[in-house]
Amino acid sequence: MVWIIGGVIVVLLIIIIWVYNDLISKRNRVQDAWAQIDVQLKRRYDLIPNLIETVKGYMKYEKQVLTDITRLRSSIVSGSVQDKAQANNQISQALKSIFAVAENYPDLKANENFKMLQEELETTEDKISFVRTSYNDYVLDYNNAIQQFPGNIFAGIFNFTRADFFQAPEEEKQVVKVNFDDVNNPSNAPSTQQPEIKPKTQKK
C-alpha cells in the first residue's frame, strides 16, 4: 500500500514539474517574441524625426503630425502591450498620410533622403507585421495553456497570468484616404487621434 501511495505521489510530482516547465516555456516564447516587436517599434520611432525634417519644407500640416507622434513617445518606449499597440496603430496611420501626400510632390519623391527613409520605414513596418503574427500565435498558445485543464490549476497556483494580444483594430486596417486640398489647409489635415484608452499594466 505504501508503495502504491509513493508511486502516485511520484507520478503527481512528475506531472506538476512537466506542466510547470511547459507553462514557463510558453511564457518565455511570448516574452521573446515581444522583445522582437519592441526593437522594431523603437527603431521606427527613431527614424520618424528624420522623416519629418525631410518633408516639413513641402507639407503644411507636418507640425500636427509631429506633435501627434511626439505625444506617443512615452507609450512606444515604456507603455504596456495595449498602449504600444494603440500608439503603433496611430503612428502607422500618420506615416500612411505622409507617404500618400508625398505622391503629390515630385521633388520630394525624388529626394534621396526621403526615399531612403521611406524604404527603411516600410521595411520596419513589414518586420513589425511579421513578428506581430508570431507573437500573437505564441500568446494564443500560452493563454490556452493557462485556461485549459490541468494548466489552469497550476496557473492559479504559480501566478501565470493572461498575456495581451498585439494587433490593430479592424477600423484601423483600412487604407487612409487623403485629400490633397488639406495640404494647404492645416485645419483640415488628417488626424491621427484615436479613442482614448486607459493604460493597462502588462502582467508577466
pTM of the model: 0.71
Pick the range with the lowest mean pLDDT from 5-9, 21-25, 60-64, 106-110.
Answer: 60-64
Choice between 63 and 84, residue whose per-residue pLDDT is larger: 84
Q: Is the pLDDT of residue 182 over 60?
A: no
Q: Is the pLDDT of residue 15 over 70?
A: yes
Number of H helices, E strands in the chain: 7, 0
Tens of pLDDT, residues 87-114: 888 888 888 878 887 888 888 888 888 8
**Confidence label for 61 from pLDDT (cuts 50, 70 and 90):** low
**Confidence label for 52 from pLDDT (cuts 50, 70 and 90):** confident
End-to-end CA distance of the chain: 42
Exposure letters 102-115 (e unless 16+ CB within 10 A, then b): beebeebeebeebe
163 and 145 Cβ atoms separated by less than 8 Å = no
Tell me the percentage of the chain whose pLDDT exceeds 90.
Answer: 26
**Confidence label for 176 from pLDDT (cuts 50, 70 and 90):** very low
Domains along the chain with CATH numbers: 2-188 (1.20.1440.20)
Q: In a 3-state reduction of DSSP, which class is residue 153?
A: helix
Mean pLDDT throughout 62-70? 67
